Structure 1
């Protein structure tokens, strides 16, 4: 029997819809905080198959989610390509900014898959555990989409406006395009390796897609994503691909039409009723409860969730958040949401 999440991601109307949450493994869970305290360095934590697999499985044991998403980080790829990467409490990720041609040329395209071997081992461990103890739950692998990963690499971490990235795209298009090409090629190889290790579906997180105007969105979001999806489908045509072009607004229609993804993720700002009109009815939609509604819980959470469910009924849909679970969120609110969605 095909798992409900995979059915929905491939374009089947499954009701009640399957549910999983972005950042469902993380700091809101006391068991995660205890586990995380054992390895202060976050990169080392992501590269520890025993602890990373445990983090992936914790929300499945608690909530029996329909999807288990690999515990890792989108910046593991640039780290594997040879860029330094640090995470500091209260600041987030830091990398040495990439600004020159020779820095792109020095990226380790040959050896990066060897450096992510611990992540692939984590996938194998999680898949085995799910098969044994949670056979209805699907394992989701992921990467950061090329434009978003390029943003962090060029800026050297997070930014309010990613001005250096946008400047490079406008003023040095050959250099920027080469970086996008490298990230497209390596993201494809990384996702294929994740599938070979046991991932049953994969997702591309394009967190900063909405920074771009339509022309840039086509060149740096739609086209690289289409190349990645084509590379996956050439080898694994039955593995569903989810794309999450955060803050894309009405450009979600161009994304759905041009990328080849099976399901499009909606962010918090998306109107599900509008998205349903922009995305073809055979394609899945995923989303998009406001994480603050989950934080508040109770009637507010249920009313917001009900509105999304009513807007999505009758088409392929996966219930999720519009962004990740917030650290102060009480776990019982997550349990309440899962129960509510499954009772509709």
Structure 2
């Protein structure tokens, strides 16, 4: 029996809305902080299938979300492609060698680094009720490439954007390689039990329109098309954060089953502009959830009402912040669960 979330991603406009939150398994939960203190660093948790499954399930026990999102990281793909991955305290992730000054073919692929993630998916799937949808995910090629080229995150993706202009053939080879590995990775998650998958393009907003077409739309479209062939019927959510008015081109060119919207998108504009009947996901500002109070309820209702005439998964415009109070999440869920179309 399919749950409300999976039905909505498949185009059903139900009277009530499914809800899950990006980064719902994470540092705002005391049970997560306790387990991390016991187990050690972030990457150690990701590669401990038992611990990663427990973290994935923690927010469901507390809040009863309609979806469970795999606890992992988008940089598992470059790690499997042969880059070294470290999460340094206070600095975030670091990949080496950086492809801004090393050739792609200098990497030695380590595909077995994907296997523990599939084990986590299998564990979570076995523990979930049929009504709860298990979501897998991967980073989109542009966003993953920005980390592979620069070796770390950056404000404007300067090194990667410059490389794409300076040597588009070399950068295309990096993108193509990421597309291949990401497609296989998502297929592996689906075979292990994921019922839908999301492509996170966290840095899509940094590109000019022509570059957006080449480095965001084309590679994401290739992944979606391949998944439709290899895993027919499994919904794919595309989330190009920061795309703004380019969302329409993304929706047409990538043709995901559902489209994630960040908090900068006006819900009324999206409801009018995006393809009729396309399910949307989002798009409450995570800082509103952090702040709480009457404005949280008002803005949540604004999002819900704007998308009343199309399938809608309620979510944030990006990940939940680590200092978000538990009581604010509970208040939000009362609003969403009390709303009816």
* Fold equivalence (TM over 0.5): yes
CA contact 1:289–1:322 (8 Å) conserved in 2: yes
- Structure 1 residue ranges (4+ consecutive) displaced by more than 4 angstroms after TM superposition: none
Question: In 2, Cα distance between the equivalents of 1:262 and 1:193?
Answer: 19
2:57 is matched with 57
**Equivalent in 77, 93, 115 of residue 117 of structure 1:** 115
Cα deviation for residue 108 of structure 1 reads 4.1
Q: Secondary structure at the match of 1:74?
A: coil
In the comparison of the two structures, how many residue pairs are matched? Answer: 338
Question: In 2, Cα distance between the equivalents of 1:104 and 1:275?
Answer: 38
Cα deviation for residue 169 of structure 1 reads 0.5
Q: Secondary structure at the match of 2:283?
A: strand
Cα deviation for residue 69 of structure 1 reads 0.2
Cα deviation for residue 183 of structure 1 reads 0.3
Matches within 5 A, 1:11-26: 11-26=11-26
2:143 is matched with 148
1:99 is matched with 100
Question: In 1, Cα distance between the equivalents of 2:121 and 2:338?
Answer: 31
Question: In 2, Cα distance between the equivalents of 1:139 and 1:296?
Answer: 29
Report the RMSD for the aligned CA atoms in angstroms. Answer: 1.1
Question: In 2, Cα distance between the equivalents of 1:105 and 1:186?
Answer: 14
Q: Secondary structure at the match of 2:18?
A: coil
2:174 is matched with 179
CA contact 1:70–1:139 (8 Å) conserved in 2: yes
2:2 is matched with 2
**Equivalent in 196, 200, 208 of residue 203 of structure 2:** 208
Deviations 1:17-75 (A, max 9, x none): 10000000100000000011123221121110011000000000001100100000000
Gaps of 5+ in 2: none
1:280 is matched with 275
CA contact 2:296–2:332 (8 Å) conserved in 1: yes
CA contact 1:140–1:202 (8 Å) conserved in 2: yes
Question: In 1, Cα distance between the equivalents of 2:95 and 2:41?
Answer: 15
CA contact 2:100–2:160 (8 Å) conserved in 1: no
**Equivalent in 129, 133, 153 of residue 138 of structure 1:** 133
1:87 is matched with 87
Question: In 1, Cα distance between the equivalents of 2:265 and 2:90?
Answer: 28
Deviations 1:299-327 (A, max 9, x none): 11101101101111010110000011101
Question: In 2, Cα distance between the equivalents of 1:236 and 1:288?
Answer: 28
1:196 is matched with 191
2:223 is matched with 228
Q: Secondary structure at the match of 1:95?
A: strand
Q: Secondary structure at the match of 1:191?
A: helix
Deviations 1:275-304 (A, max 9, x none): 122211221110010111101112111011
Cα deviation for residue 81 of structure 1 reads 1.2
1:158 is matched with 153
Q: Could you tell me the TM-score, scaled by structure 1's length?
A: 0.96
Cα deviation for residue 103 of structure 1 reads 3.0
Cα deviation for residue 337 of structure 1 reads 1.1
Q: Could you tell me the TM-score, scaled by structure 2's length?
A: 0.97
Tell me, yes or no, if structure 1 residue 269 matches structure 2 residue 267: no
Q: Secondary structure at the match of 1:24?
A: coil
Matches within 5 A, 1:229-244: 229-244=224-239
Cα deviation for residue 202 of structure 1 reads 0.3
